[in-house]
């Protein structure tokens, strides 16, 4: 992990990201959605950021404003919680009110759980920390257009 410190003037604000210009040129800084809570940056503000240097931005861990106020930004641990445990994912889905309808499938960042709720079939994404998110409509198996055409004839 490469850390970086940059100081300058805010010249653009884009949700939880902002751009600064200083002695090292222009830098894009990311506070993350939770880190941006309670921070009201405006164009023209003088700031200092410290954080992890990524190819296109700085993932801010510490933001200091011109008045000396320091905002610590914590990022979620990507490896926190279970390591994609299908049993834990099933339990989380059931606790969220879903009926699990098939076998959970491990993915790199989550476990996909086929489920249904209120008569609607979905494929849930259950994060390692047990967060149930992004219910996506379950799609029917795609049929080969040639075989479908032949059956219709």
Q: Mark whether 68 and 26 lie in a shared domain.
A: yes
For position 78, what pLDDT does the model report?
58
In degrees, to the nearest 5, what angle opens at C-alpha 93 toward C-alphas 109 and 100?
110
For position 38, what pLDDT does the model report?
82
pLDDT category at 147 given cuts 50, 70, 90 is very low
- Interval 82-89 mean pLDDT: 78
For position 142, what pLDDT does the model report?
46
Domain boundary residue among 72, 106, 129? Answer: 72
**Domain assignment present for 147:** no
Q: Mark whether 59 and 96 lie in a shared domain.
A: no
Q: Mark whether 68 and 117 lie in a shared domain.
A: no
Give how many domains the chain has, as a whole number.
Answer: 2
- Interval 1-19 mean pLDDT: 93
For position 135, what pLDDT does the model report?
59
**Domain assignment present for 144:** no
Q: Mark whether 65 and 21 lie in a shared domain.
A: yes
**Domain assignment present for 145:** no
Summarize pLDDT for 16-54 with one digit per residue, the tens.
999 999 998 999 999 988 888 888 899 999 999 999 999
Percent of the chain whose predicted confidence (pLDDT) is above 70: 82
- Interval 66-87 mean pLDDT: 77
Q: Mark whether 68 and 90 lie in a shared domain.
A: no
End-to-end C-alpha distance for the chain, whole angstroms: 61
Report the distance separating Cα 97 and Cα 117, nearest Å: 7
Q: Mark whether 68 and 111 lie in a shared domain.
A: no
Q: Mark whether 63 and 94 lie in a shared domain.
A: no
Range of the domain at 64: 3-72
Q: Mark whether 46 and 101 lie in a shared domain.
A: no
Summarize pLDDT for 91-141 with one digit per residue, the tens.
999 999 999 999 999 888 789 999 998 888 888 998 877 888 865 555 554
CA distances to 23, 83, 132 from 66, rounded to whole Å, are 16, 42, 40
**Domain assignment present for 143:** no
For position 53, what pLDDT does the model report?
93
For position 84, what pLDDT does the model report?
76
Q: Mark whether 64 and 12 lie in a shared domain.
A: yes
Q: Mark whether 56 and 105 lie in a shared domain.
A: no
**Domain assignment present for 79:** no
């Amino acid at each position: 992990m490469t850390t970086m410190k940059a100081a300058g003037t805010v010249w653009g604000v884009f949700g939880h990201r902002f751009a600064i210009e200083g002695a090292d040129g222009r830098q894009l800084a990311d506070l993350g959605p939770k880190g941006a809570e309670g921070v009201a940056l405006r164009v023209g503000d003088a700031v200092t950021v410290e954080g992890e240097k990524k190819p296109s931005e700085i993932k801010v861990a510490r933001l200091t404003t011109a008045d000396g106020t320091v905002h610590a930004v914590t990022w979620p641990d990507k490896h926190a919680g279970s390591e994609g445990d299908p049993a834990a994912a099933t339990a989380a889905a059931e606790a969220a009110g879903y009926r699990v309808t098939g076998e959970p499938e491990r993915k790199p960042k989550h476990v996909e759980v086929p489920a249904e709720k209120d008569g609607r079939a979905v494929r849930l994404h259950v994060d390692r920390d047990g967060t149930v998110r992004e219910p996506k409509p379950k799609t029917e198996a795609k049929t080969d257009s040639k075989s479908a055409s032949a059956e219709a004839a």
